[in-house]
Homo-oligomer: A and B are copies of this chain.
Amino acid sequence: MQDTTFFDRLKTHAVAVETLLDTLLTADVREGEIARPDRLMAAMRHGVLNGGKRMRPALVVESATLFGGSADAALRVAAALECIHCYSLIHDDLPAMDDDDLRRGQPTVHKAFDEAAAILAGDSLLTFAFEIVASTDAGLEDAQKVALTLALARAAGLGGMAGGQALDLEAETRALDEIEITTMQAMKTGALIRFACEAGAIVAGASAEDRARMLRFGRIIGLAFQLRDDLLDLMSDSETLGKAAGKDAARGKGTLPSLKGIAWTEERLASLIAEAQDLLSVYGERAAMLGKLASYVATREN
């Protein structure tokens, strides 16, 4: 894919969310706070301002745009979601979890600081996400903030991302079957991606039907994202990925590509893209960028 407009727009969203996070994560104490310790703040910034692709923020902003939502409000929610995503990376990288030294080509937070700082930076980013949603003055109604808080908490918590990581760790002690792998991945990576797509609809005050459609779209994108990730882990090298490659296989962890083969995975990805485009077809050209995002998620090289 060589669509410069698409990549420019992705880059615009990434810069916007980084700029907002950079502004929010300063030493300025807000009402109800006492002080913001320098080193903790530095560890949080190391974990979140690291040049990620910001795919989840792009999904929030584009789905809000599709339904005519406020770009400012969407960006706030996108920043909150990115805090949750990055906290999970910081904690997952810890020695007691996946024990990774490298993340996006940089030392992980516990390597650049120490384990205690990484635990606290993760805790603080997780907490900060809810602060961002509740404190936004970008024109969201209280009912929308409550809906976003609830959906985000459920996507991130024991019934979503954190629960998925718990299941993933269990997978190191016994082989999961296809259904178990699918459930684990729907939780570990799928839940936040689904939230990203739904959140745009909530921000825009879209109809229940549109909100449900975006949830389904998000579910498909989440599946495609994980399949592509596992395929890249199977086929790629660490330099391209910017993180350790081949580690699932090295741990004996089953993935769908390793269970079903590369050809099956490529076919499945193609059918997921088609399904996603089909869901978006009711919106016509207005959903072009979301359609491109779906293709990108399923075909990216890193």
Asked if A29 is an interface residue, CB under 8 A from chain B, the answer is yes
A5, B34: Cα distance in complex, Å = 36
Are B91 and A158 in touch, CB under 8 angstroms? no
In this assembly, does A131 line the interface, its C-beta being within 8 Å of a C-beta of chain B?
A: yes
How many chain A residues touch B (Cβ–Cβ < 8 Å)? Answer: 65
CB distance A166 to B37 under 8 Å? yes
Stretch from A148-156, A252-260, A262-270 contacting the other chain:
A148-156
Q: Which of B35, B142, B156 contacts A143 (CB 8 A)?
A: B142
Are A119 and B134 in contact (CB-based, < 8 A)? no
Q: Is A127 an interface residue (CB 8 A)?
A: yes
**How distant is the Cα of A57 from the Cα of B198 in the complex, in angstroms?**
34
Per the 8 Å Cβ criterion, residues 87-104 of A in contact with B are: 87, 91, 94, 96-97
Which residues of B have CB within 8 Å of A170? 37, 39
Q: Residues of B contacting A3 with CB < 8 Å?
A: none
Q: Which residue of B lies closest to A198 (CB)?
A: B32
Task: Check if B151 sits within 8 Å of A32, measured CB to CB.
Answer: yes
Instruction: Note all chain B residues with C-beta closer than 8 A to A146.
Output: 134, 142, 145-146
Known: A39-B166, A149-B149, A153-B134. A33 touches B159 (CB 8 A): yes
Most chain B CB inside 10 Å of its own CB: which residue of A117, A122, A130 = A130
When C-beta atoms are compared, the residue in chain B nearest to A117 turns out to be B166
Please state if A124 and B35 are interface contacts (CB–CB under 8 Å): no
* Per-position 1/0 for A100-134, Cβ under 8 A of B: 00000000000000111101101110111011011
Q: Give Cα A41 to B155, complex, Å.
A: 16
Chain A 191-222 per-residue mask, 1 if CB under 8 angstroms from chain B, else 0: 10000000000000000000000000000000
Check A166–B120 contact: CB distance below 8 A: yes
Chain B neighbourhood of A157, CB < 8 A? 33, 124, 127-128, 131
Given the contacts A149-B149, A166-B39, A160 and B96 also touching, CB distance less than 8 Å: no
Q: A49 at the A/B interface (Cβ < 8 Å)? A: no
Residues in chain A within 8 A of chain B (CB atoms):
29-37, 39-41, 44, 87, 91, 94, 96-97, 114-117, 119-120, 122-124, 126-128, 130-131, 133-135, 141-143, 145-146, 149-160, 162-167, 169-170, 183, 186-187, 190-191
Q: Pull 10 A–B residue pairs with CB atoms less than 8 Å apart, ordered by A.
A: A33-B159, A34-B159, A34-B164, A36-B159, A40-B163, A87-B123, A91-B123, A96-B114, A123-B162, A130-B149
